[in-house]
Amino acid sequence: MSPEVPDRLSLTLNALADPTRRAILARLSLGETSVNELAEPFEMSLPAVSKHLKVLERAGLISRSRTAQWRPCKLEPEPLKEVDMWLRDYRKMWEQRLDRLEAYLKELQAKETQAQSAKPKDDNTKDGEIK
């Protein structure tokens, strides 16, 4: 029996699960850069950063090219669009739920306001004391 090959969405979500990889993607959103420049802000070895880059590359989130000695990394946004499309239905569901909650809260507030304005005012009391 062969191991199941993860689908692209699973690869993308797995890659995004790590804060270091998300930080690398954030840096690459500013433009192409070298592996050494990507590794600078992290307190880890260059081989450890390279492992993170391999996960991102396998998920299709980055691409690497070679120009002489320079190996720039570049963000590939297509897998992020797929995650956004997958989340769209969930976002829509939560927006609908929040809209219903807002309508319900407004209804409760209206009932409370109506009940308070319908209370008879007693002239024999002042600040909760009987005269």
Q: Alpha-carbon Rg of the chain, whole angstroms?
A: 28
The pLDDT of residue 125 is above 80: no
The pLDDT of residue 106 is above 60: yes
Query: Residue 1: what pLDDT?
Result: 47
- Range of 18's domain? 8-77
List, in order, residues 6 or more apart from 112 with CB less than 8 Å away: none
- Domains held by the chain: number: 1
pLDDT tens per residue, range 18-62: 999 999 999 999 999 999 999 999 999 999 999 999 999 999 999
Residue 101 in tokens: 């909650």
Between the two ends of the chain, the Cα-to-Cα distance in Å is: 89
In a domain, 56, yes or no: yes
The pLDDT of residue 131 is above 90: no
Q: What is the pTM of this model?
A: 0.70
CATH number at residue 70: 1.10.10.10
In a domain, 24, yes or no: yes
Q: How far is Cα 115 from Cα 119, in angstroms, rounded to an integer?
A: 6
* pLDDT band at residue 5 under the 50/70/90 scheme: low
Q: How far is Cα 35 from Cα 40, in angstroms, rounded to an integer?
A: 9
